[in-house]
Structure 1
Amino acid sequence: MRNASSHETEYSLLESTSNIELPTVHPSCQKRDDDGNFSKPLPTRPSWKAIGLADLRDGWRFSASLGVLLALCVLLLNIALTIWGAVRSSANNGHIYHGNCKTAKQINTGIHVIINVLSTLLLGASNYCMQCLCAPNRRDIDVAHREGRWLDVGVQSLRNLAYITPYKRWIWLLLGLSSLPLHLLFNSIFYSTLVNHDYDIYFASEDWLQGAWFDTHGLAAGGIHSMEYKSDPALFQSGVMNDDGSRFERLDVTECINAYANPYLSDRSNVALISKFMYNDTRIAQYYSFWDVASNSSLFRVMYSHDTAQPLYNYRDPYGWICDHYEGLSTGCRKEEGLTQAAKSNWTVMGYKVTGCVSQKVDELCSVNFTLAIGIVVILANVGKLICIVAVCFLLTDQPLLTLGDAVTSFLRSPDRFTKGICLWGKDDDRKHWRMLRHTGDVPAPRRFESKIQRRWRVAGKQSWAGFLFLYSTALLIALCLAIYGINKLKKYGQGSFSAIANLGIGTATTNTVIGGDGWHVAKSGNGAILANSLIANTPQLILSGVYLSLNNLLTRMQLAAEWSSYSVQRKALRVSHDRTGAQRGTYFLQLPYRLGLPLMAISATLHWLVSQSIFLASIDTWDSAGKPYVRESVATCGYSPLAIILTIIVGTVIVLFAIFVGMRRLEGAGMPVVGSHSVGIAAACHPPKDGGDENERLMWGEVNENIVEGGAQTVGHCSFASSVADVPVGGRMYA
């Protein structure tokens, strides 16, 4: 005799406390007598009853309550992180750190590791609750079967949304929408800034570096050349004379070109080009006639570098002077052009033949910045998730069929009358035939049992595989395009080798790994630029989440099939998510076991972190040639890390190969109908004999001594889950 608590209603709707009514009692809440008929209904739990702490001790509610604690902890950490960032940045001109680039990189990397761990945990709890919400209860399945349709059991499915209550559907939608800010903005709360240095170019003789006299009166320019040099030639000269080798470096022509043929300079500033007074180009003489220095001056000319950050504004060539382009107004100067001249000992700049240079070295400066507005948006999304998870845990009072064990338990207690006589029905059977069968009421014909080996990949279905491979291919294509773009750009600056790429590290923008130029039509400054570049940098996070969810769905379906087929080879207890009785096994996970689910979550966190280090929000502060910051705002853009992109591709490919490996494994047994998550197939396999359908005992699927019809040329048998004897079906025999 089953106790009343084991027969609580399997569905209930959240109702107001006014006009309280008990819901209609489902057959699953009734006892069967010895003849298999239903007797008086057992008491049901009213849908308005509050969930107590005792209800949280076991099953899916226990895991959901852990999700509440997890979401609360993540919220508190997010608030603490936001307060720390706001206080730290307000006391340091908007930076939480400003100084050595190595230290800034370590801080930035550590913060993003924390961010991606927190977001993975929060999204994991959210996905768990979303699956609980879209899981059907028995009433939902009965309604669908009555209409000739079917629902999914054990997997998160959009199909089920049409049958669950509006309350559950709205919470499911809110949980999904609250994930968008986490994907698109979370990683941009903290971002790095690098300092780019403008520089002045001195044309001087070797004597000038030794302290020779120079004329300063004819160096200033006016009119269209009003952007005068900002450094002090006398300070540069004295600095070279008194330097111990730490601040000024002498370079040959090739080294000089390699050092300055870069769009941005982080570790160098002003440069003195050593030349003989060789002013024999009439074109140059015409353009630069506004300079009028004394003929015996050891300093011939000073030229402003024209703001090396300007490529981000889509105009000017920052090192056009290397190719002897007039003031950099011509574009397209390539380093190779200057190196070709250098190889011929004929590097000429503005009419001066250069024999070498002296470069002023500066400390690399980087900072880690904090964005309060994004931090607040993320906190609000976190609060929204917490409220929704609390609602799932404490206000959802029906009993969803979350696992195969839940569904089998329900169908054994109360067999589904719509699926009687189709015990070999599988997921690949014609759905139109099922719908027509339901509407016409025809008696289904018996089917012949065929013993054949099935592999897991077939069970997942073509749509699941197609969706996963499409999303993965999209992500791979984007990653490859960005990697090719980045490597080709680095090759232009002589950093395209693997060792050079490895030395750049991951997650930190350098002067050669920021996106800009004529093809980058995105806001460059202000809050709008921060938001626009944040969305661009984090869009791959959204794509990656789609890949993860489709992979999770794929592995879940294959694991579902493995669990299902195992009942055809050994007798075992059902794994249920609530109301465990008898030999039944309780579970805290839904379908993927911890040995698979936890590593998958860890890999997901790793991939999200790698993607956050592959392309990311970055900004550039430009300092003038006198070593002072420009008053204007920082230039916002996206930085990228080729090494992180390569690692992302490798890890992603390994995951795909793992999924294929799992898919190639065989299912246990041979011949048990593969139903996947198909509610019709599950129900069809749950029509037990009168004395062998105790769901509380250890069960096995097979041929049962029920409805055996002998006569003529064939014998018609019946297969079902049963607690009594269940034999291996006979190949070639008809079953119904």
Structure 2
Amino acid sequence: MQCLGSPSRADTDIAHNQGKWLEIGTASVRNFRFVGYKRLSVWLVLLITSLPIHTIYNSVVFTSTAMHQYKVLIAPNVGDFSLASSECVRSALSLTESDFRQSMPHDSLEHLSPKECIDTFATNYLPGRGTLLLLTNELDHDNITVWDAGTGSGPRTSMKKGRKDYDWMCRGEQALDVCNGDQIDPEQWKVTASPLEDKQLNITAPSQQGTLTFNKDTFAKVSPCYDERPAVPKSLCRDMETLYRYILEHQELDNVLHFLREPENWANSSWAGAITVREVSKCAYPSENGSGKKETFKIEGCLSEKIPESCQLMFSFPIAIVVLVLNVLNIACLFITARDSRDDVLLTMGDAISSFLSRPDPNSRGRCLSSKSNVYTKAFSSSSETRYSQVNIPKRLPRLKRWFHSINSFHWYLTVVLYFASLAGSIYLHLIAFSSLKSEYEGGSLPGLSADSRKPTSVTPVSSMKSSNSKDIMSLMLLANIPQLVLSISYFLYNNLLTTMLLAAEYNSYALHRRYLRVTKPQGKQRSELYISLPHRYGLPLIALFAVLHWLTSQSLFYVQEIPFYADGRLADSFTVSALGFSSVPMIIAVTLGSIMLIAVFGLSLRRFGSRMPLAANCSAGISAACHPPENDKDAAFEPVMWGEVVINTPQELERLGGDDETRSTLSRASTATHDRGSRSTSVRVSNAMAALSLESTGVAHCSFTSHDVVKPSPRQLYS
């Protein structure tokens, strides 16, 4: 982009003739008025096609994390038992007996203490965990019974505020308003559960057709007494109804047998004596546990099934096509730029000095101490108002300046504003994240930060949606990549800051040492320019630092999909969540690194220049004014050059360079012109200059780049 905005010598001459100046050696927008609309069009296409790449490139490939629902069961705390013998356990896990034996060998379960169990499972994002067995001493080992304590993780079936994936952990006697693992005492941890096996009584009673078998749930369906025309005596129906009403309220075997043995309860006691009662187990399901029997058990430990973590690397084909097309357009723009037909392009400061030494610009004659700060619009125009302005008056050397004086104030402001905007955005994200964590861990301490940015315990969703709409997903992807765009803009700002300061420092070094000019197309003793912006010792570290910042930012704010699975392995695709994840640790590191970089640039900008040479920086007019060598120095551009006070041997040469009599004549005309216009301040400056000139025994001297010998400029000497 710097190449497209670099002017040719012809463009520079046109600008100087119109009283304008252009920027040399740095990326510039102001130059496009003179370099042509074709290059402006290519520059705009390059800009427009580059910006979207930064906002969508990271979303071409993204990850999806599988969240497996895990079943929580309460079992006896014994050293040797086989859950596979329980049909209800296998039914709850939707496994066959062979699958169950294969998936849950006892030696594959990790034993956890109550504290370890709470610390491990008290999180909303828990990959890599399967069935959890809570062990208790309050269940009978001789008659093993397994209880259902609920489920954790998996599909966001609730999606309700305050609901957590580990609410089962607090369904005991803790009476916590909000489930928080930090508030549970591991020594007194109790969990409420419902039985997986529901005990019920099967009744086999004599009937007209032989025998009739029923229980409290099936009596109404099989009883002949509910027919329109019952085929059994009314006395038998009364006895059957009496038995049914009793077993509705009493399911204890001993109580029912005792009730059958009491003759006064029956119209036909012999019928009651012939009844057989058998206790059987029936598997209960979670939907039936809502209002069923519940008990609370003290937990002595846990057995946790560890399952392989699963994730997917997703590829977005539409986004990849868009990125590919944009890159093709970028390559086309680069190809057009490389085929620039101009031979006199002033791409670097060395190119400009070489061109102006070979062919001095008459517009800047007699202004050898012009700097970027005092060259302003129309300074080179031919009107009397500007011809005799402060630029035309002989000057003394400026005071020693610092590197930051070479930078436009607006550029500094923009860089600082962008930094504080990024800092504010980071703080805002932290507030959202910690607000979410605070509500999740209300009443307890917040979890520690993890250095692993993708570790579930360190990731907080700052925005999420259940929508599968591509527009909604794209909006999250764009939002996740906005910081990447900000970083790219920051890179250009930092690059331009350093380029301008180092360009000014290199320009200033010509007043200290004689050096070869570094140009893009070397001739004579000129040297080839190895870079067009930053030297490698600055450019490579800057690229490396911003590469690290881009990576840290991608780990701080990222798009992720959560694909949930039920405990039986079924995909819960209707609960797939697209989320914008945020991780604090990489963001903190990125902000710290960005702050250090800004401080480093500020510290670098406080360095002093080595000489009092006027600060032309990237200003074409300032460079042009410093390139009026002696008449006999025709090949200065191709020899080692140095800036300083030119040794003038003849009055004619002094007159040609704009000094002595011509300067006095210029000041005289300036005094008359300013007096006629009534400009008191300018008149005073001109009068002071004439007075100073009359006191100088050596007259007005001249400074320039030259291959001849030079004298170190004197702070007391006037120069033009």
TM-score (norm 2): 0.69
The answer on 1:336 being equivalent to 2:279 is no
Q: Distance in 1 between matches of 2:472 and 2:362?
A: 61
**Deviation larger for 703-712 or 563-572:** 703-712
Structure 2 residue corresponding to 1:413, chosen from 358, 382, 397: 358
Displacement after TM superposition at 1:545 (Å) = 0.9
Q: Deviations over 1:391-431 (max 9, x none)?
A: 11125435321111221222233333332332212122263
Displacement after TM superposition at 1:673 (Å) = 0.4
Matches within 5 A, 1:482-493: 482=429
Q: Deviations over 1:447-493 (max 9, x none)?
A: 33236332212222332222222223333443455567668878959
Structure 1 residue corresponding to 2:695, chosen from 703, 713, 727: 713
Query: Residues 418 and 438 of structure 1 are in contact (CA less than 8 Å); yes or no, is this contact kept in structure 2?
Result: no
Matches within 5 A, 1:460-609: 460-479=407-426, 481-482=428-429, 496-497=447-448, 501-502=450-451, 504=452, 506=453, 509-516=454-461, 520=463, 522=465, 524-578=467-521, 580-609=522-551
Q: Deviations over 1:257-302 (max 9, x none)?
A: 2222211221212333445779xxxxxxxxxxxxxxxxx8823445
Displacement after TM superposition at 1:693 (Å) = 4.8
- Counterpart for residue 187 of structure 1: 58
Query: Residues 483 and 645 of structure 1 are in contact (CA less than 8 Å); yes or no, is this contact kept in structure 2?
Result: no
- Counterpart for residue 644 of structure 2: 702
Q: 1:212 to 1:385 in 2, by over 3 A?
A: closer
- Counterpart for residue 728 of structure 1: 712
Displacement after TM superposition at 1:189 (Å) = 2.0
The answer on 1:167 being equivalent to 2:38 is yes
Q: 1:213 to 1:583 in 2, by over 3 A?
A: closer
Query: Residues 155 and 565 of structure 2 are in contact (CA less than 8 Å); yes or no, is this contact kept in structure 1?
Result: no
Letter in 1 for 2:631: K
Structure 2 residue corresponding to 1:404, chosen from 342, 349, 352: 349
Query: Residues 616 and 640 of structure 1 are in contact (CA less than 8 Å); yes or no, is this contact kept in structure 2?
Result: yes
Matches within 5 A, 1:229-628: 231=94, 242-244=105-107, 246=108, 248-274=109-135, 298-301=145-148, 303-305=150-152, 307-309=154-156, 316-324=163-171, 332-337=178-183, 339=184, 341-342=185-186, 344-345=188-189, 352-356=296-300, 357-397=302-342, 399-429=344-374, 431=376, 434=379, 440-444=385-389, 445-450=392-397, 452-479=399-426, 481-482=428-429, 496-497=447-448, 501-502=450-451, 504=452, 506=453, 509-516=454-461, 520=463, 522=465, 524-578=467-521, 580-628=522-570
Matches within 5 A, 1:17-28: none
**Deviation larger for 148-157 or 298-307:** 298-307
Displacement after TM superposition at 1:242 (Å) = 4.9
Letter in 1 for 2:33: A
Query: Residues 645 and 710 of structure 2 are in contact (CA less than 8 Å); yes or no, is this contact kept in structure 1?
Result: yes
**Deviation larger for 708-717 or 458-467:** 708-717
The answer on 1:685 being equivalent to 2:626 is yes
Displacement after TM superposition at 1:553 (Å) = 0.4
Letter in 1 for 2:404: W
Query: Residues 526 and 633 of structure 1 are in contact (CA less than 8 Å); yes or no, is this contact kept in structure 2?
Result: no
Letter in 2 for 1:722: T
Q: SS at 2:541's partner residue?
A: helix
Query: Residues 155 and 575 of structure 2 are in contact (CA less than 8 Å); yes or no, is this contact kept in structure 1?
Result: no
Q: 1:419 to 1:433 in 2, by over 3 A?
A: same
Q: Deviations over 1:234-274 (max 9, x none)?
A: 78996899511x2x234343333222221122121233344
Displacement after TM superposition at 1:436 (Å) = 8.2
Q: Deviations over 1:126-165 (max 9, x none)?
A: xxxx100011222332333333332211100122223321
Letter in 1 for 2:701: G
Q: SS at 2:457's partner residue?
A: coil
Q: SS at 1:618's partner residue?
A: strand
Q: SS at 2:562's partner residue?
A: strand
Letter in 1 for 2:548: T
Q: SS at 1:163's partner residue?
A: helix
Q: Distance in 1 between matches of 2:326 and 2:423?
A: 29
User: Which is greater in Rg?
Assistant: 2
Q: Distance in 2 between matches of 1:622 and 1:451?
A: 71
Query: Residues 537 and 617 of structure 1 are in contact (CA less than 8 Å); yes or no, is this contact kept in structure 2?
Result: yes
Instruction: Give the number of equivalent residue pairs.
Output: 566
Q: SS at 1:573's partner residue?
A: coil
Q: SS at 1:478's partner residue?
A: helix
Q: Distance in 2 between matches of 1:252 and 1:586?
A: 71
Q: Distance in 2 between matches of 1:562 and 1:199?
A: 66
Letter in 2 for 1:336: D
Q: SS at 1:447's partner residue?
A: coil
Q: Distance in 1 between matches of 2:192 and 2:533?
A: 71
Letter in 1 for 2:702: H
Displacement after TM superposition at 1:610 (Å) = 2.9
Letter in 1 for 2:68: H
**Deviation larger for 711-720 or 342-351:** 342-351
Query: Residues 516 and 527 of structure 2 are in contact (CA less than 8 Å); yes or no, is this contact kept in structure 1?
Result: yes
Q: Distance in 2 between matches of 1:585 and 1:324?
A: 80
Q: SS at 1:622's partner residue?
A: strand
Letter in 1 for 2:718: M
- Counterpart for residue 674 of structure 1: 615
Q: What is the aligned-residue identity percentage?
A: 30
Query: Residues 515 and 637 of structure 1 are in contact (CA less than 8 Å); yes or no, is this contact kept in structure 2?
Result: no
Letter in 2 for 1:542: L
Q: 1:620 to 1:240 in 2, by over 3 A?
A: closer
Displacement after TM superposition at 1:207 (Å) = 7.2
Q: SS at 1:512's partner residue?
A: helix
Query: Residues 703 and 726 of structure 1 are in contact (CA less than 8 Å); yes or no, is this contact kept in structure 2?
Result: yes
Structure 2 residue corresponding to 1:665, chosen from 607, 612, 619: 607
Displacement after TM superposition at 1:390 (Å) = 0.8
Q: Distance in 2 between matches of 1:303 and 1:347?
A: 10
Query: Residues 277 and 352 of structure 1 are in contact (CA less than 8 Å); yes or no, is this contact kept in structure 2?
Result: no
Q: SS at 2:710's partner residue?
A: coil
Displacement after TM superposition at 1:304 (Å) = 4.2
Q: Distance in 1 between matches of 2:161 and 2:371?
A: 61
Q: Distance in 1 between matches of 2:550 and 2:542?
A: 12
